[in-house]
Structure 1
Amino acid sequence: MRDLPLAVIAEDQKAVHMAKLVSNWTDDLIVFTNGHQVISAEEKGFLNSAGITVNEKKIVSLTGKGGQLGKIQLEDQTEVLRDGGFIASEWIQAATFESDLGYHLNEQGGIETDSMQRTKTPGVFACGDTRIAGASQLIMAASEGSMAAIAVNAELLEEKFNGMQT
């Protein structure tokens, strides 16, 4: 998609961030907010000075062929040709983490842990998507899972050898 006409579709403050990221790939970028006014006048000026257009009209349809975007049709019947695009979706945690286990939730609604993935409830660990509600990455979840496994193993060893003489 490098150097092709691209689109960013975002209905919230991620629009500006996504525009900055995608601008590394192309000089022909339009940000569509789908009828939402989420970009300030100052931000629009900044984006425009970087050659990025902002379009706040409502999107009626996305069409293309073979799984590739071809055009974006707007509510005023305008059709904007684009070869590809990115949609900034809202991350919603699929599961609620309320439980009788007694752990605490953080400000994002995920389970609060320390650096070893321990919750404040002895014997309860959390990692990956359970720990942070919001954007998550597989590699981070795997890393946190490894840390949790190390901590669980350490606790089991301490329990096993607790009280034994060395």
Structure 2
Amino acid sequence: MTDELRDRYDVVVIGGGAAGLNGALMLGRARRSVAVIDAGEPRNAPADGVHGLLGREGVPPGELLATGRDEVRGYGGHVVTGRVAKAYRRDESFVVALDDGREVAAKRLLVAAGIVDRLPDIPGLAERWGKDVMHCPYCHGWEHRDQAIGVIGTGPMAVHQALLFRQWTADLVFFTHTAPELTADEREKFAARGIRVEEGPIAAVEADGARMADGRLVPREAFAIATRMEARAGFLADLGLEVADHPSGAGTHVPADAFGKTAVPGVWAAGNVTDLMAQVGPAAVAGAMAGALINADLTEEETAAAVALHRLGK
């Protein structure tokens, strides 16, 4: 990445994942000055490949992002390494302050900083995250098809996740761990689909399976878990834009409408920071949509200013 960062842009994009880069690409093609500020912590970094993305199936995440950065630069955009500390208003502009002291002003902001997956404190789990501990069947289910999979229950999405993973394997165990008590209806569904239930907490995830709190080892080759997903957006507080609980109960997000527009005029959000369930493809599409609408919003503002001057004979 280049460290070039000018004092002012039409748009500053916070976050250089699929959503942020595709938004910047659209803005660059619209001849807008744009800078992408990225901390270099993509959510999917531990994964071997991006899946379900037509034309780029299986591409390593780092390769996809490197290509995207080059494409943004090809249209005059700047891609800058940095961590945003806060964003605030100064007169008619937004100011984005980095934690190294640099500041940059912009007419509009696109927030695409993504989310952080919070794993439960189970020894051995984090070390295997993104390899044989996964969260999304559409992202990783094929790679673990027909394996002995264990779904670790931690929250409201666990039962739904288990029923989905049944499509990829017949050897499935649901560990209740800290999930809400299973209802009679849920237990009936599991029984009908041949999903075994293991009651009680997991003490550790080991190479051969799950070590239960009572000492038993339940052999498993891979695990699935619905993490708590938390939006990276604390830097927006000075703008009056705070994260909120997601309706699914799966974590927190930045509320935005279907086109990425937030409650703060001039600020858009795209990708996982607002849509917790979005895969790479939908996140990129959301970024492109937000970029196009930001350009349209700027065009309306510039046209109104031009009309005002025209009426004055200037």
Tell me, yes or no, whether TM beats 0.5: yes
Call closer, same or farther: CA 1:94–1:60 in 2, change over 3 Å: same
Distance 2:243 2:162 in 1: 32
The equivalent of 1:137 in structure 2 is: 279
Q: CA RMSD in A?
A: 2.6
The equivalent of 2:228 in structure 1 is: 90
**TM-score, normalised on structure 2?**
0.45
Q: What SS does the aligned partner of 1:86 have?
A: strand
The equivalent of 2:237 in structure 1 is: 99
Count the aligned residue pairs: 159
Identity of aligned residues (%): 31
Gap runs ≥5 in structure 1: 65-69
2:262 aligned with 1:124: no
Call closer, same or farther: CA 1:103–1:11 in 2, change over 3 Å: closer
Call closer, same or farther: CA 1:131–1:55 in 2, change over 3 Å: same
The equivalent of 2:185 in structure 1 is: 42
Kindly indicate which of the two structures has a greater share of residues assigned to strand: 2
Q: What SS does the aligned partner of 2:150 have?
A: strand
Aligned pair partner of 1:159 in 301, 305, 311: 301
Distance 1:11 1:88 in 2: 7
Distance 2:295 2:188 in 1: 54
Gap runs ≥5 in structure 2: 1-143, 247-251
**TM-score, normalised on structure 1?**
0.78
Distance 2:178 2:186 in 1: 17
2:147 aligned with 1:9: no
Residue 141 (structure 1) shift: 2.6
Which stretch of the first structure deviates more once superposed, 4-13 or 121-130?
121-130
Residue 76 (structure 1) shift: 1.6
Distance 2:178 2:291 in 1: 46
For the 8 Å contact 1:57–1:74, the answer to whether it is kept is yes
Distance 1:104 1:41 in 2: 38
